[in-house]
Structure 1
Amino acid sequence: MKTEIFTRNDLTTASELLANGQLVAFPTETVYGLGADATNELAVKQVYVAKGRPSDNPLIVHVNDPEMVWNYADLNWRSLAQKLMQAFWPGPLTIILPIQDQKLSTTVTGGLKTAAFRMPDNALTLQLITQLNRPLVGPSANTSGKPSPTEAMHVYHDLNGKIAGIVDDGPTLVGLESTVLDLTSSIPTILRPGALTREQIQAVIGQVQDSHHQVQNDEIPKAPGMKYKHYAPNAQVVVIDRKEDFLTAIKQLQDKKTSFAVMATDDVLNNLNLSSNLPTFSLGDSVVSASKRLFAGLRRFDMDSSIEYILAQGTSDLELGKAYMNRLNKAAGQQHFKLEEQ
């Protein structure tokens, strides 16, 4: 199969491929999604095949209008959900709702009686869904477990020859997947943090809690990205929590003659006075830029098979930093740098 790169002028072709059961990756403001007609079970099954993804993982259903949700979701939940949709859609919020009987395949829901819905903030993708006139499933368009794609070429690297096409709209604006909010809990619960914070959601619907549940290997997750290790390159990622520990960590790896790379903000990179042959990646000057660039940095070093470790800068676990650290910790398998005992 030849994977075509589409532009905004090719949306009709892309929608026709989707209507015929093919897979087409699409841009959002968060990451690129791997699209299939959500009402075509055979097409949805191919998403799992292309990604190498366990079929018990639910898929997010992408819509072009809040009204499309109610063709599938339980109407009894409309009042609460509508408040969130009016406040945050289109945008980086995924809402988990109970679904009407037999309205969505278990291939979409992972066998659960709930489904996750989102209206992405990307004009091309909203137009694509409008032309298809059906919702799209859209997990991140990457090989399962690898860093999520924030550019069309990231998708091409992972899925070339496995999908029909990729709609290219340049780099994504946010760089981290959407906030996932479960409305079926007794208290609405954030299952996956994202750019939209708990405080922002609470301002609209009242009390919201963070989930501290760790999904086990034999457990069906209620939302994507909940597994212990995820978004991981081949190299071992090590989180550096304190800026002052970078030099020590670098020296230890140099003493062991280990190949490694460094991902950090500009102020840290400028102060390290690193040798020119050490691979580095700038995370910019803030948690906003770091969140936008995180997956691109992990992917850059994933393409270099000689790199064994990636030293990546951590940040405070507040607001957007919560989402950044969630992805970084999963990429690292929770491995943080610790000073070696003397």
Structure 2
Amino acid sequence: MTETKIWTVNEMDAAARAIQRGSLVAFPTETVYGLGADAYNEKAVGKVYAAKGRPSDNPLIVHVADPEQVSDFAIVNERAQKLMSAYWPGPLTMILPVKPGVLSMTVTGGLDTVAVRLPDNDATRQLIRESGKPLVGPSANTSGKPSPTLAKHVYHDLHGKIAGILDDGPTKIGVESTVLDLSSDMPAVLRPGKITPAQIEAVIGMAIDSEVHHVADDETPKAPGMKYRHYAPDKAVYMVAPEDWTQAIIWMQSQLEPVGLMLTNDLIEKHQLAGMDFIWSLGDNNDTAAAKLFAGLRYFDDKKDVQTILVAAMPQVDVNGAYNNRLGKASGGHWISELLHV
């Protein structure tokens, strides 16, 4: 078994050397921790799929340190240039036509496109520069499980499977980047994230399709999170609308086993839950809720006596799109109403 090291940002040289020799290194971003490998090394990229248990037709996002790197392997159009100027570095992944013969099919999933982003994290951009390679970087977790927002989450899932983890503390945003397909005439959001459709439209000056989040079983997805089960703990997860919390708490109190509750501070105060066991605060607003969502799911997943997790859903508006998307996938689309009417 590989000994997985945890490196500080002051040990960047060791992390860069590991990348150069074809090993896997988890790296921090502003969204979640990614699992890095040299994007030009097909054997190293193959190790990413193996370590995560990831389906081989699920393409990988290539992370760069500078916008200029993108043209080494992808065709950059005018819309992409505008969005790079507006939102890079940042939580926006763009799907562009790939240059033939530069990246292996293990990176692209066999498609003629490639997903690329420039993360807003100084340590990771330094890692890319020092290793001299763009890095593939799916979330650094077991495939399908909640994404990691702390180095210890990565270690929990992947210790013994990867060379090391570059630890730069907790991620700021907590949910993965917006994925925008720019490879066809009509730009389309394939995965919602912090950057909203309205923000994208304001930059490129045209309407985009914001509802393309799923593919059929026989299709190859252009972006992560579109086809397979994602973000889900082993415990049963149910979404709770604001008006259903009173009933949800009554149901919770009737159970023989403890139930995990994940909700915002206003709901904790309203229902007098402060100080109670099995409460996970999602903070005060949609930004804190997104940042704390995956950590809360992991927290309750590790509690053996908790078998059910109830999580606050957010109003269906643009700024909550990423949070509700990840929660919907984690819950399999199940709502507390299903339990209340049994």
Query: Into which bin does the TM-score normalised by the smaller protein fall?
Result: over 0.9
One-letter code aligned to 2:317 = L
- What residue is the counterpart of 1:325 in the other structure? 324
3-state SS of 1:70 partner? helix
- 1:65-86: CA deviation from partner (whole Å, max 9, x where unpaired): 1111101012xx4322111111
CA contact (8 A) 2:144 2:228 kept: no
CA contact (8 A) 1:59 1:139 kept: yes
One-letter code aligned to 1:126 = R
- What residue is the counterpart of 2:125 in the other structure? 126
CA contact (8 A) 1:228 1:330 kept: no
- What residue is the counterpart of 1:66 in the other structure? 67
- 1:145-164: CA deviation from partner (whole Å, max 9, x where unpaired): 00000011110110111100
- What residue is the counterpart of 2:313 in the other structure? 314
Tell me how far apart the structure 1 counterparts of residues 25 and 7 of structure 2 sit (CA, whole Å). 9
User: Relative to structure 1, is the Cα distance of residues 275 and 119 closer, same or farther in structure 2, using a 3 angstrom cutoff?
Assistant: closer
**1:1-342 mapped onto 2 (5 Å cutoff):** 1-74=2-75, 77-206=76-205, 207-227=207-227, 229-242=229-242, 244-274=243-273, 278-338=277-337, 340-341=340-341
Tell me how far apart the structure 1 counterparts of residues 213 and 297 of structure 2 sit (CA, whole Å). 26
One-letter code aligned to 2:159 = N
- TM-score calculated relative to the size of structure 1: 0.95
Deviation at 1:255, TM superposition (A): 2.5
One-letter code aligned to 2:23 = Q
Deviation at 1:212, TM superposition (A): 3.5
Deviation at 1:63, TM superposition (A): 0.3
CA contact (8 A) 1:261 1:307 kept: yes
Tell me how far apart the structure 2 counterparts of residues 276 and 127 of structure 1 sit (CA, whole Å). 42
3-state SS of 1:209 partner? coil
Deviation at 1:229, TM superposition (A): 3.1
Tell me how far apart the structure 1 counterparts of residues 92 and 228 of structure 2 sit (CA, whole Å). 22
One-letter code aligned to 2:3 = K
CA contact (8 A) 1:37 1:136 kept: yes
Deviation at 1:275, TM superposition (A): 8.7
Tell me how far apart the structure 2 counterparts of residues 275 and 169 of structure 1 sit (CA, whole Å). 31
Work out the number of aligned pairs and report it.
339
3-state SS of 2:337 partner? coil
Deviation at 1:224, TM superposition (A): 0.6
Q: Which runs of 5+ in 1 are unaligned?
A: none
Deviation at 1:241, TM superposition (A): 1.1
User: Relative to structure 1, is the Cα distance of residues 275 and 130 closer, same or farther in structure 2, using a 3 angstrom cutoff?
Assistant: closer
Deviation at 1:260, TM superposition (A): 1.3
Deviation at 1:32, TM superposition (A): 0.3
3-state SS of 1:25 partner? strand
3-state SS of 2:95 partner? strand
3-state SS of 2:162 partner? coil
Deviates more, 1:316-325 or 1:60-69: 316-325
Deviation at 1:238, TM superposition (A): 0.4
Tell me how far apart the structure 2 counterparts of residues 87 and 336 of structure 1 sit (CA, whole Å). 37
User: Relative to structure 1, is the Cα distance of residues 304 and 219 closer, same or farther in structure 2, using a 3 angstrom cutoff?
Assistant: farther
Deviation at 1:250, TM superposition (A): 2.6
RMSD, matched Cα: 1.6
One-letter code aligned to 1:246 = W
One-letter code aligned to 1:41 = E
Deviation at 1:165, TM superposition (A): 0.4
User: Relative to structure 1, is the Cα distance of residues 134 and 228 closer, same or farther in structure 2, using a 3 angstrom cutoff?
Assistant: closer
Tell me how far apart the structure 2 counterparts of residues 190 and 72 of structure 1 sit (CA, whole Å). 22
CA contact (8 A) 2:145 2:232 kept: yes
Deviates more, 1:147-156 or 1:301-310: 301-310
Tell me how far apart the structure 1 counterparts of residues 166 and 69 of structure 2 sit (CA, whole Å). 22
CA contact (8 A) 1:22 1:164 kept: yes
Deviates more, 1:145-154 or 1:184-193: 184-193
One-letter code aligned to 2:36 = G
User: Relative to structure 1, is the Cα distance of residues 167 and 147 closer, same or farther in structure 2, using a 3 angstrom cutoff?
Assistant: same
Tell me how far apart the structure 1 counterparts of residues 171 and 121 of structure 2 sit (CA, whole Å). 9
Deviation at 1:302, TM superposition (A): 1.0
3-state SS of 1:210 partner? coil
